[in-house]
Structure formats: C-alpha cells, structure tokens
Structure 1
C-alpha cells in the first residue's frame, strides 16, 4: 500500500490560511504600529515551507532527492504566493481600503520624525506612494515570498531525510 502524499497545493492553502489569519489578527489589534511583528509572519512562512519539505520526505519514506524536496517546497511557495497575493489585493481594494491610508500616514510620521526630507519631498514621496501602493505591495509579496521561499526550500531540502533508492539497483542481470 502506497502512502498518500499531501500535495503542494493543500500545504500551500494551509500555510496561506495561517498567514492570512495572523495578518488579520495584527490588523485588528492595531499591530501595524509595530512593524517588527511582520517578521513573525515571515518566520511562520519559513517554518511552513520547511514543514512541507520534511512532511513530503516522511510521506515518501525518505525515498526522495534534494531536488525533489526543493521542488516540492518551491511549488508550495508558489501556491502560497498566489493565494496571499490575491488576498492582499482583495484586502487593499475591497475589505480594508483604509489600511492604505493608515500605512501612508505612519510613513509620513516616520519621515517627518527623521527630519531628513523637506515637507515638499515628503509630500512628493507620499503622493507617489499613494498612487502606486498596491503595485508596491504586489511586488513586495512576489519578491519577498520568492526569496524567503527559495531559502526555506533549501533549508527544508537540506534537513529532511533522504535515502533515494535506485530503481535499477535490484534488477537481476
């Protein structure tokens, strides 16, 4: 009897839901004022991809190669990226459009507190940010998740058990 292997799509959906729920908790408890909390989300993502690779190896009784594991982890990353990307666009455009204004206002306050830019430079930067906010968010999700997903897949592939069996090794001559 062959072991049932959980697909990257299912694992990606599970990890995405965890990331989205965490993001919603941060939003509703006004955690946007603490940007360091976003690192926890990346840690959850990293741990999720490593879990996906290790689980894949275990489900196949370690009959996998480094490349198989990395590919599985990166496929899971792709699924997560698509789901989180769709959620991000939906959140900014439909569910929580005020999130953009809150983020932009926090950026303005930070720039004013730094004192490195004039008022006109701050206004210009904020204007550009407001105009392209969703684009920046989309690019940020894609690039950030691709980089962290690749690193996570490498780590997961490195630490998961690997004992690939040669399919031709037991053949009589």
Structure 2
C-alpha cells in the first residue's frame, strides 16, 4: 500500500488557484488572456511537484502507473474544487459573466465579425455561460493535469522493489 499525497497537494493547489482568481478579479485582470495561462502553469507545476513528492514519500518504491494515478487524482480534486468555486463565485459576482461577454464581443469585433454574427454568438454564449464554465473548467483542468501527471510520472525517481519469482 502506497502513502498518498493527492488530497493535501490537491487542496493546496486549489487554494492557490482560488486565491489567484480572487486577486485577478479584484485587480480587474480576470478577462486578460495571459491570466488563463497563469492557472495552467500553477496546475502543471503543482501536479508535477505532487508526482515527484509522491515518489519520495514512498522511497521510490513506485511504478510509472502509481505516480501517474496519484497525479491524476490530484488533478481530479483540483478540477472539482475549482469548478465548484467558479460556480459559486459567478453566482456571487454576476458581473463576471458580463465582463466575459464584453471581452468576447471585443475579440469578435477585432476579428472583423459582422454585427449579426456577434449578436448571435453573444446571445448563445450568454444562455450557455454556466455550461461553458463547467465544461471548460473540468475538461481544461483534466487535460492539462493529465499531461502534467504523465510528465511527473516520467521524471519521478522510481525504484520499485519487484519480487522475483522463485524457481
């Protein structure tokens, strides 16, 4: 049985992401495109660190699969906590939705989209906003977390004590 660290690191990484989200909201930076990459970097670094610490915690007596599974459990916890936070945060501060729609409109205007296309897209996005938040948060976190888990499992020091069959 392996010692696990996915709960503690998953909660710490989630707390960091939540604090960054609140900070970016307060500083009115939440619609900046680079902000999304900050969260991705935090997830990447956090999950890889979790994987390497998992291997150390178990004195290297782990396999690639053990380390990957621990990293993906961490990722799943991060996805769950941050998506729940996002829903609550948007319900408390509904102006987040309006700011996001304004930014989407600006981007579409910058691309030279027609007014009719912009209005239809904004109307659909407005109706489906929470679905997009949920799907984007879950799948985005799981996608980047899975990649980070693979990298973490690859770089973690492994020296499993495999029992040789007796002849």
Q: TM-score, normalised by structure 2?
A: 0.93
Give deviations 1:7-59, integer Å, cap 9, x for gaps. Answer: 31221111100111111111111113421121111001000000110010001
Give deviations 1:38-85, integer Å, cap 9, x for gaps. Answer: 111100100000011001000111000000000000011111110011
The residue that corresponds to 1:109 in the other structure is 106
Q: 1:136 to 1:172 in 2, by over 3 A?
A: closer
The residue that corresponds to 1:146 in the other structure is 142
The residue that corresponds to 1:12 in the other structure is 10
1:165 corresponds to 2:165 = no
**Following superposition of structure 1 onto structure 2, how do residues 3-82 of structure 1 map, counting pairs within 5 Å?**
5-82=3-80
1:156 corresponds to 2:161 = no
Question: Structure 2: 5+ residue runs without aligned partners?
Answer: none
**Following superposition of structure 1 onto structure 2, how do residues 83-102 of structure 1 map, counting pairs within 5 Å?**
83-93=81-91, 95-102=92-99
The size of the alignment, in residue pairs, is 166
* SS of residue in 1 equivalent to 2:128: helix
Question: Structure 1: 5+ residue runs without aligned partners?
Answer: none
Cα-Cα RMSD: 1.7
Q: TM-score, normalised by structure 1?
A: 0.90
